[in-house]
Amino acid sequence: RKPRVAVVFGGRSSEHAISCVTAANVLQVIDRDKYDVVPVGISTSGHWVLESGDPERLSITDGKLPEVDVTALPVLFGANRELVISEPEQVPSTLGQVDVVFPLLHGPWGEDGTIQGLLEMSDIRYVGSGVLASAVGMDKHHMKVVFQGAGLDVTPYVLIRDRDWIRDPEACRTAVDALGYPVFVKPCRGGSSLGISKVNSLAELDDAIVEARAHDPKVIVEAAAKDPREIEVGVLGGLDGGLPEVSVCGEIAISGGGHDFYDFETKYLPEGEEYTALSVPAELPEELAAEVRAKALVAFDAIDGEGLARVDFFVDADGKVIINEINTMPGFTPTSMFPRLWAASGKDYPALVEHLLTLAMTRKTGLR
Ligand code: ATP
Ligand code: MG
Ligand code: MG
Ligand code: MG
């Protein structure tokens, strides 16, 4: 029989909708002559269902964000790599074994090592990074610690844990003040710019912390890079035996419409499109591009990355290369940066999806 791929999407994080949009596109390009495909949705409440994967329903229409169909049949991974229908008070019936999972999930409970752990426990192969890399790559504090350990430059930051904010908010404000403004206030574990604010003075700080805390009780506040150019690089591979490949550099420039950084609207919504310019490849001096690409590989290895990642950098006014973050399951719609970087590096969208599945099929689970 053909290998069976479960494309798992949606999920409990605030990036649920973006995951749905991505999945709709990926489901359309997987080669059905080669693979059996099962769309599996995870609702915002955490229920797993056998989705139809209908691309029309899973797109952003008239500004309305898509959601997993919670009324679909409930499913679970059972023993022996089997996907089973698990309706209450009914005998579970199997949908057969799954050979590989494409966890197209962004943010907590998906991009952070949790589903990777579940799949490891079940001995099921999957696309992308393992438990550790996913967890480190999700946490903007721990990724910085690891990046610094690997010799990469990061922006100065202050961590505001739940207990810090509850016990002594004034000490938090003082610590942030010492960074100098502007600062970026972020949920430590998030993505798609959700919950992120650029703060220009102490007066704006509390609101931004409250906003970030709505996504994650662990908040990170970063000094803003000075007039940075935003450069992103894709990494692929890095599984047993193979050296990771690195894409060309891409650049994002945001201007107008009241947007002063790459926020959710400029990333994903049609109304933000006119303020967002993506250049692939980025117009960079050759030496600088080589430096950024080499640092992307250092970052990927620093977290023990596997399969894929997008590494986000700032090149500041002095030409200094600063790493902003790594994303182990980057935005993956055909117009997203990651697929565009690979298209410009010789792998179009269907080829990229095929490559990721091929890598995953040879991936071993466990400590190997
Ligand atoms: P994604 O995972 O979708 O790339 P994210 O939610 O993890 O995004 P970041 O990439 O950390 O968030 O930040 C979002 C955007 O905010 C950046 O692309 C950049 O435009 C701006 N930004 C974040 N941190 C800084 C900083 N320290 N200095 C200058 N700009 C910043
Ligand atoms: Mg991110
Ligand atoms: Mg992300
Ligand atoms: Mg980013």
**How many CB atoms within 10 Å of residue 10?**
31
Say if ligand 1 is within 6 A of residue 216 CB. Answer: no
pLDDT, average across residues 122-138:
95
- For the cut 70, the answer to whether the pLDDT of residue 221 exceeds it is yes
Per CATH, 137-153+226-361 and 157-223 having the same topology is answered no
Q: Does domain 137-153+226-361 have CATH number 3.30.470.20?
A: yes
* DSSP three-state, residue 160: strand
Single-letter code of the amino acid located at 72? A
pLDDT of residue 327: 97
Long-range pairs of 298-301 with CB within 8 A, sequence gap ≥ 24: 298/150, 298/151, 298/152, 299/147, 299/150, 299/152, 299/323, 299/326, 300/235, 300/238, 300/244, 300/326, 301/150, 301/238, 301/244
Ligand that comes closest to the CA of residue 158:
1
Instruction: Give 239's pLDDT tier (boundaries 50, 70, 90).
Output: low
- For the cut 90, the answer to whether the pLDDT of residue 334 exceeds it is no
Residues 299, 308 contacting (CB under 8 angstroms) = no
Say if ligand 1 is within 6 A of residue 324 CB. Answer: yes
Residue nearest to atom 23 of ligand 1 (CA): 184
More confident call, 365 vs 343: 343
- For the cut 90, the answer to whether the pLDDT of residue 273 exceeds it is no
pLDDT of residue 92: 85
More confident call, 181 vs 226: 181
Q: Which of 93, 98, 100, 102 is nearest to 82 (CA)?
A: 98
Residue nearest to atom 26 of ligand 1 (CA): 224
Nearest-angstrom CA–CA distance, 12 and 41:
11
Instruction: Give 102's pLDDT tier (boundaries 50, 70, 90).
Output: very high
Provide the percentage of residues in the chain whose pLDDT is more than 70. Answer: 98
Report CA(134)–ligand 1 centroid distance (Å).
Answer: 18
Owner of token pair 């008239």: 62
The pick from 18, 262, 308 for probing ligand 1's pocket by mutation, whose C-beta has the most ligand atoms within 8 angstroms, reads 262
Q: Could you state, in order of their start, the residue ranges of all structural domains in the chain?
A: 4-126, 137-153+226-361, 157-223
Say if ligand 1 is within 6 A of residue 265 CB. Answer: no
Provide the percentage of residues in the chain whose pLDDT is more than 90. Answer: 85
pLDDT, average across residues 22-37:
96
Q: What is the DSSP letter of 356?
A: H
Q: What is the DSSP letter of 28?
A: H
Residue nearest to atom 25 of ligand 1 (CA): 224
Rg (CA), the chain: 20
pLDDT of residue 333: 87
ipTM over 0.85: yes
**How many CB atoms within 10 Å of residue 123?**
12
Superfamily covering domain 157-223: ATP-grasp fold, A domain (3.30.1490.20)
pLDDT digit string, tens, across residues 161-208: 999 999 999 999 999 999 999 999 999 999 999 999 999 999 999 999
pLDDT of residue 176: 98
Q: 4-126: which CATH topology?
A: Rossmann fold (3.40.50)
